[in-house]
Amino acid sequence: FLVKLNLHFFNFFCHTEIHTAAKETVALAEQRFMSNSHEWQFDNAWQEMLNHATQKVMDAEKQKAECHAEHQKLTQIFNDAELKVQQLEERFRRSINKSRPYFEEKQICQDQLHTQKERIQELQQQVQTAKSTYSTALRNLERISDDIHRQRGDYPQMGAPPPGPREPGVGAELNSPTTTTLPSLPDYQLELEKCDYPSIAGSQMSLSGNSHRSSDLVSVSTQPASIGHSLAGDESEMEECDADYADSTELNGVVDERDLEELRQKVKILAVRPIEGGDGEQQRNDMWENELTATVNKLDQLMLMNECAAQKQQKQLKIKQQQHQQQ
């Protein structure tokens, strides 16, 4: 749609230039005729030229008006569509915020997969080149061996090959590497499911599920007879949360969102980092993989700590409400 809108704007600009040039042509012709009116006569040639220039001006003006109207129409449609997008964004803001981590992680995985595919294709090309070079080297060695045997007189006749078929060397079966068809790459959807890296979106989904389950347990225990048991269960869960995450010293010590955003950006950068080939790259690849895994684990841990602190705050608020109701 934007391409069509830009095309109509370009046509409007072109017709405007044509209209301006035609008007200047008519004005220049009239000025030249008026300056030499005592020498020139207004004959049929002048009349035809003036009519042609005037017709050109009228056509250009008509096309300019049509392009302007079409451009205004498309502009109105674009503004309506943009307004509708804003309304839908405002209406589904919560759903967009909930699904944003999934699409961010999906983009990271797709970028990483694209990088790995390029690397695989490059390695396959290098393997084909190495096999071709190896096959050529084996053929040269065979030729040198035959020459040596002929010089020694091992063959009874010059040019006679050794008895029996010569077995091909290892890797020499690739005589025409250009005609070899490479196997198709596996489906990246299946490969993503086998990925060993922790899932950010999955962690958030599991955390939200645990939060809902814990809130349901608290809401069920609203009867007066089971208030003590509910309080004991909540205190035990709070103690476990404190034991697992002793780093969070305060109840309201929620992880800063800026730290989480920095870790997310670092994961994005590490996920799409290209892997260069060459000697000694295996160690650098291992370091890159360890760094990416450590960053993802740290991000998941901080998100879990943030969720745990929020659960503790919510549980304490519910405990205070239950104690107030009991009194």
**Domain co-membership, 85 together with 137:** no
Asked if the structure places residue 18 within a domain, the reply is yes
**Domain co-membership, 241 together with 149:** no
Encode pLDDT of 204-258 as tens digits.
Answer: 444 344 444 444 433 433 333 333 444 444 445 445 444 444 444 443 445 667 7
**Domain co-membership, 138 together with 263:** no
**Domain co-membership, 57 together with 120:** no
Asked if the structure places residue 189 within a domain, the reply is no
Q: Are 170 and 138 in contact (CB under 8 A)?
A: no
pLDDT < 70 positions in the chain: 1-2, 5, 8, 33, 36-43, 46, 154-256, 271-285
pLDDT at res. 133: 94
Number of domains in the chain: 3
Asked if the structure places residue 8 within a domain, the reply is yes
**Domain co-membership, 13 together with 87:** yes
Asked if the structure places residue 236 within a domain, the reply is yes
Place of tokens 């740290």: 298
pLDDT at res. 114: 92
Asked if the structure places residue 180 within a domain, the reply is no
H helices of the chain, in order, are 2-35, 44-91, 93-152, 188-193, 200-220, 227-244, 257-271, 281-326
Q: Which domain holds residue 269?
A: 196-274+281-327
Which pairs count as long-range contacts for 293-301, CB under 8 Å and 24+ apart, including other chains? 293/197, 293/198, 295/263, 295/266, 295/267, 295/270, 296/197, 296/198, 296/200, 296/267, 297/198, 298/263, 299/200, 299/260, 299/263, 299/264, 299/267, 300/198, 300/200, 300/203
Asked if the structure places residue 162 within a domain, the reply is no
Output DSSP code: residue 252: T
Asked if the structure places residue 163 within a domain, the reply is no
Residue closest to 302 by CA, chosen among 271, 256, 269: 256
Which pairs count as long-range contacts for 125-131, CB under 8 Å and 24+ apart, including other chains? 126/277, 128/174, 128/177, 128/180, 129/177, 131/171, 131/174, 131/177
Encode pLDDT of 74-92 as tens digits.
Answer: 888 889 999 999 999 999 9
**Domain co-membership, 6 together with 49:** yes
**Domain co-membership, 236 together with 124:** no
Q: Distance between terminal CA atoms of the chain?
A: 66
DSSP string, 147-184: HHHHHHT-SSSTTPPPSSPPPPPTTTT-S-GGGPPPPP
Q: Output the 3-class SS for 8-28.
A: HHHHHHHHHHHHHHHHHHHHH
Asked if the structure places residue 120 within a domain, the reply is yes
**Domain co-membership, 223 together with 323:** yes
